Chain A
Amino acid sequence: MFTALALCALAELTQPLAVREDGLVHTPPMGCLAYVEWRAPQDTVATIAGHEVLGPMVGELARQALGENADLEALFAALANEGESTADMLARLGGDGLALWLTFEQFAPVFSLALPAADAEAGAARRIELLHSLERMVEAPGALATPSESIEGVDVWALGDAFFVVGKGANTYVSNSRNALEPLIVERRSVRGRRALERLTETHARRASGSDLFAWVDIGAINALAGLAGGALPTEGPGAILTTLTELPGNPRAQSLLGPGITRLAEGRSWSLRANVDRQSVELQLASDGIATPSALAPTTPAPAPVVMGTGPNTAHAQVYRDFGSMLAQRDTLFAGPELAGIAMTVSQLELFLGGLTLEDDVLPAVSPWMELVGRTLAFADTPRPDLRLPGAAIVLHVGTDGAIGEHLDAAFQGLIAVTNVGRAETGEPPLRMVLGRDGERTWTSARFPTPAEGAPVDAIHNFVPAAALVGEHWILATHEELLIDLMDEIAAEKASDGAAIGTTTGARPVREHLTITGVPLARLAKPQLDALALMASLENGTSREAEREDLEGLVWILERTDADVTIDHAADAVVVSARLHFPLVR
């Protein structure tokens, strides 16, 4: 097979596709800010096309990406035959792999495409095919019959000043700027270009091997460019993602929710993304490399073995690292602005319940930053049948062998119920009932909401029964009493079997956070909320409710067919986020 042969050749590469030369010129894509390499477009397109989940998902992503990059869209349109989709065009021209890179000229994006071939002859044939389709587009047959320039064996075809094709041995290059291709025409090196190449080459060698898709982004260069362009990072378009990421480390809410992995992504010097696609799964790996300063909030020691069953009934299970102790102790250097006052307010409110203990000195140092989160769907009683069926969620904290902190946390939970009841009394609502549960050795506290009276303004019945308990070295806070009891049993059993149930592996554990999500229950949860979610989105985006609803339905449809494993690996100078999507229903 032609493709298979090409793949064999590519697999041996240690250099990015666009840089590989057949001994003529050895130059990098100068000032390259982003680089995408696609090894076998034909295979990937074939896998995705007709895939019931990936097809619509990738199609939508591609539409959005092209919609926001008019120049890229124009470039692809010029290469496509009449009626040919972008995917089909790429599969056709990229039979031996393809590489696409982005440079900037006068702050305007320039896209260039490299199309290698197996040998010079095949390369020439590909160029003829490509030039013909260009001629058809401009309705000028024969206009590109001869190159407009030939420099030391390198041929250049120019379509006005809008489109350039360069042929060099087996390789063909296409761009909407001659400048971008200049280094391929005439050998020229610059320090800046060489550094970029070295970084790209190094990352490529490390991360690209064996992946279907490899992408690389020079974050440092983009930041520098934004600085030149007037300071501000983009607030719209794809660049806005970078802007948002840049702001995350200084945001305590983001640090708490997303954790040190995601919030550090923008601190790297470059990103690389690799993807592998087959019908049953997609693997994505995003690495942020060259992070200059280690994070005070990132883990440096491996996670302990999880105590909650990682599989089975869980909708979601995560083992995350949230170092609230350091966040609090080092808040001065970590956070800015109104956040500090907000933190102080939160802390002082929490401390109201801690009976004189302080979070910073007493509580947080005793609680391990490695914590587990679990989400489960629960069975519901039929009477009274809840209107709002909330899924169960729990957090499991490791508080160590000294039970004192756990007892304080229990007391704090009880204090919270009492204070909630003061508030409810002020508004005339009946109080929560605090229940101290006991079953053999196990004890726990739960708070039960009264069944609302008929005709009350807020009369939705829900199944929310917050509960907390201390089990051995762990303190659990759950949204539902039954979930709490299940977890107490599981943790006790786990302890009795000494970790055998989880299958703790011996040997070095990686410094890794993980999250596992099962799509079906999430979809079930989202379904009754679709109208509210669609309204939210339509007010925000100015689109119609119907369009947003349709999108959401599509998302739910995908969720119903998708499970995800996400891991975040921490190193001093890098963060690697890996996601694996499974499609259990797809054959």
Chain B
Amino acid sequence: MTERIGSFGPARLSRRRFVVGGLAITALGALPTPGLAHTSSRRGERETILVVVQLTGGNDGLNTLVPVAQDAWYRARPSLSRVASGAHELGSGFALHPALGPLAPLFEGGELTCLHSVGHPDPDRSHFRSMEVWHTGSLERRSANERPTGWLARLGEQIIARDGSAPAMLHVGGGALPLSLVGAEGPAPSVADLEQLRPGGGATAAAVRAALYAEPGSEAGDARDVAYLRRTARAAVDLGRRLEDGARAPLAADWPRHELARDLALVARLVRSGLGARIYQVELGGFDTHRGQPTIHAELLRQLGGALAAFQAELSAAGRADDVLTLVFSEFGRRVRENASAGTDHGAAGPVFVLGPAARGGFVGTPPDLEHLVDGDLPHGIDFRSVYATLESRWLGLDPSSDLPGTAFLA
């Protein structure tokens, strides 16, 4: 078995030192040398995987996990409360939006855990700021010139430092790379569609590879970055091939045909193929429902529910469901009171969902109480950083980014 980078030094060896040592590369996603083993699954040890699903725009949590037993909800939402009929009862006074039907059986089976009122002490109504807080896992305010690092990217750096596995993390989808995956050493690889990672075949591709794989010469004193470039280029070619191999795997579940489903299907394929990445992020946008919310929100949740259910089914079929937890979050919830355009405006805390049999199922945290609001918003009950802490330390086995105690939602 090929020697791992991790064996070169202590587990917490910093990412920067690896770069100085010439062993690692940016884009975290790449292999230092073609011969290095790329799978991180350790014999006898479980390879846990975290998939983050981001609902961009501020999901209306109160119409997602609906407090059907609270009169205040009906009063605050005379038109939006129509979703109560047809909602899927979960017990304890809550129900899932009618469009989230596919998730109801998962809840019953204990594979869906709902965390009430997740947020933080410094809510902000700006999309940008709120997303930055969730992406960096920190409430610190920075000037524009300070480069914040993403919480997932920091985890990825730890994984590479420990296991030498690559790619540690992957962004799947056509949108811009989220800040959560931008680390000190550069961005995570992003797969919009596999076509983009297909280097092509034939003599041309062979020659291109020959130019990149030829003996690189000494790296020392090379001010021209040639060796660096050659290494990252090889890594890209290599990653492209492996992703392509992984993505060829046939699917077992019955997948809907929308974009989120396509992205999650790719994640499922890559998980099954043993690509070795332990962190994935995908997004579903359009949740900024200031106007005409009923149709848009139902459509988005329909996509979300269908894709997540198919994803879980796919993982179960592959026998990998126990290895994967999926975190579903949005940068903020929306205001409790609906506005005059059958929509809702930016609010504060909202529910977070964790999918997978490894979580304990049911509800976690104090249910939101619509009679006691702060500035017309739901105050947070669970700090999102403590959710991160649990995922970081207890699920992925890494060092958490904050000192907050974790939240008990794992089985």
Contacts and interface: CB of A to CB of B under 8 A. Distances in A.
A touches B (Cβ under 8 A) = yes
Given A344-B296, A345-B296, A337 B291 contact: no
Contacts of B296: 341, 344-345, 348
B257 interface: yes
Contacts of A338: 258-259
B257 A344 contact: no
A341 B285 CA distance: 9
A344 B304 CA distance: 14
A296 to B, nearest CB: 15
Interface string B287-323: 0000111111011100100000000000000000000
Contact of A337 (B259, B285, B294, B295): B259
A349 B384 CA distance: 34
Contacts of B216: none
8 contacts: A336-B262, A337-B259, A341-B258, A341-B303, A348-B292, A351-B292, A352-B292, A352-B341
Given A337-B262, A341-B296, 7 more contacts: A340-B299, A341-B258, A341-B286, A344-B295, A344-B300, A348-B291, A349-B292
A337 B258 CA distance: 3
B257 A345 contact: no
Interface residues of A, number: 17
A36 to B, nearest CB: 31
Interface string B325-348: 000000000000000010000000
B256 interface: yes
Contacts of B262: 336-337
Contacts of B256: 332
A128 interface: no
B300 A352 contact: no
A336 to B, nearest CB: 3
A338 B256 CA distance: 12
Contact of A336 (B258, B285, B292, B294): B258
Interface in B197-239: none
Interface in B259-301: 259, 262, 285-286, 291-296, 298-300
Interface in A414-453: none
A250 B257 CA distance: 10
Interface of B: 256-259, 262, 285-286, 291-296, 298-300, 303, 341
A269 B256 CA distance: 26
A46 interface: no
B295 A340 contact: no
Closest 4 CB pairs of A and B: A336-B257, A344-B299, A348-B292, A348-B295
Contacts of A337: 257-259, 262
A347 interface: yes
Binding site of B, secondary structure by majority: helix, strand, loop or mixed?
helix
B304 to A, nearest CB: 11
A280 to B, nearest CB: 48
A340 B291 CA distance: 18
Interface in A318-363: 332, 335-341, 343-345, 347-349, 351-352
A351 B257 contact: no
Contacts of B286: 341, 345
Interface in A265-311: none
Interface of A: 250, 332, 335-341, 343-345, 347-349, 351-352
Contacts of B294: 348
Give the most central of B258, B286, B295, B298: most A CB within 10 Å. B295
Nearest to B285: A341
A537 to B, nearest CB: 26
A338 B193 CA distance: 14
A351 B295 contact: yes
Contacts of B257: 250, 335-337
A332 B292 CA distance: 20
Nearest to A341: B286
Nearest to B256: A332
A343 B294 CA distance: 14
A250 B258 CA distance: 11
A248 to B, nearest CB: 15
A352 B291 contact: yes
B364 to A, nearest CB: 30
A328 to B, nearest CB: 10
A351 B295 CA distance: 9
A72 B81 CA distance: 67
B292 A340 contact: no
Contacts of A347: 295
Contacts of A339: 258
A255 to B, nearest CB: 15
A348 B341 CA distance: 11
Contact of A341 (B292, B293, B299, B341): B299
Nearest to B341: A352
Nearest to B286: A341
Contacts of B300: 341, 344
A343 B258 CA distance: 12
A335 B291 CA distance: 24
Nearest to B257: A336
Nearest to A336: B257
Contacts of A352: 291-292, 341
B59 to A, nearest CB: 14
Nearest to A347: B295
A217 B303 CA distance: 38
B262 to A, nearest CB: 7
A339 to B, nearest CB: 8
Nearest to A331: B299
A349 B291 CA distance: 8
A332 B102 CA distance: 15
A219 B4 CA distance: 52
A351 B299 CA distance: 15
A359 to B, nearest CB: 9
Contacts of A345: 286, 296
Contacts of A336: 257-258, 262
A339 B303 CA distance: 12
Contacts of A349: 292
A351 B256 CA distance: 26
A475 to B, nearest CB: 23
A339 B256 CA distance: 13
Contacts of B258: 336-341
Nearest to A335: B257
Contacts of A335: 257
A340 to B, nearest CB: 5
Contacts of B299: 340-341, 343-344
Nearest to A345: B296
